[in-house]
Amino acid sequence: MRAGVKITGMSTVRRKLTRVMGKKRDAGMKGLIMAAAYIRQDMELTPPLIPVDTGALRASWFVKPERIGGKAIVTMGFSAPHAIFAHEMDWKEGKRPGSGPKFLQSALNRNRRRVTRIIATEMML
């Protein structure tokens, strides 16, 4: 993490997702990956959108599925060096109309129930 940059709000997102999901926390890997894909798509359609200057930030999206202690885990985010600054800094709309800070956090907050349904549906199949 870069010096002087503080990520805020993600613990609240995790806490809310955990509460909504309850016993479904050990969801199948497929459901988690599908939920991550839904979040990525939403960041392209619902403001605040992912900012675009050269396209490097959008292209750096990653999803890393793994199992830790027998539980399915998916880490998702952006790997571009400037991703943390684009997400956390207070700025107005950029070159892309509708873009803005907190684009990932906003998508997670806005879609926590939808993510839960995606994961639950996959678990029931």
**Three-state SS for 75?**
strand
Q: Is residue 96 part of a domain?
A: yes
Q: Is residue 46 part of a domain?
A: yes
pLDDT exceeds 70 at position 45 = yes
Q: 103 falls in which pLDDT band (50, 70, 90)?
A: very high
Q: Is residue 95 part of a domain?
A: yes
Sorted by sequence, the CB contacts under 8 Å of residue 124 that are 6+ apart come out as: none
Q: Is residue 51 part of a domain?
A: yes
Q: Is residue 2 part of a domain?
A: no
Q: How many CB atoms lie within 10 A of CB 64?
A: 10
Q: Could you tell me the residue range of the domain that residue 98 belongs to?
A: 10-124
Average pLDDT for 75-83? 95
Q: 119 falls in which pLDDT band (50, 70, 90)?
A: confident
pLDDT, residue 70, reads 77
* Tokens 């129930």, residue located: 113
Q: Is residue 3 part of a domain?
A: no
pLDDT, residue 113, reads 94
Give the DSSP letter string of 4-72.
Answer: T----SHHHHHHHHHHHHGGGGG--HHHHHHHHHHHHHHHHHSSSBPP-SSSHHHHTEEEEEEEETTEE
Q: Is residue 4 part of a domain?
A: no
Q: Is residue 24 part of a domain?
A: yes
pLDDT, residue 12, reads 75
Instruction: Tell me the per-residue pLDDT of 10-43, one tens digit each, with 9 for 90 and over.
Output: 677 777 666 665 545 455 788 999 999 999 999 9
Task: Domain count for the chain, please give it.
Answer: 1
Check whether the bond before 48 is cis (ω within 30° of 0).
yes
pLDDT exceeds 90 at position 69 = no
Q: How many CB atoms lie within 10 A of CB 50?
A: 23
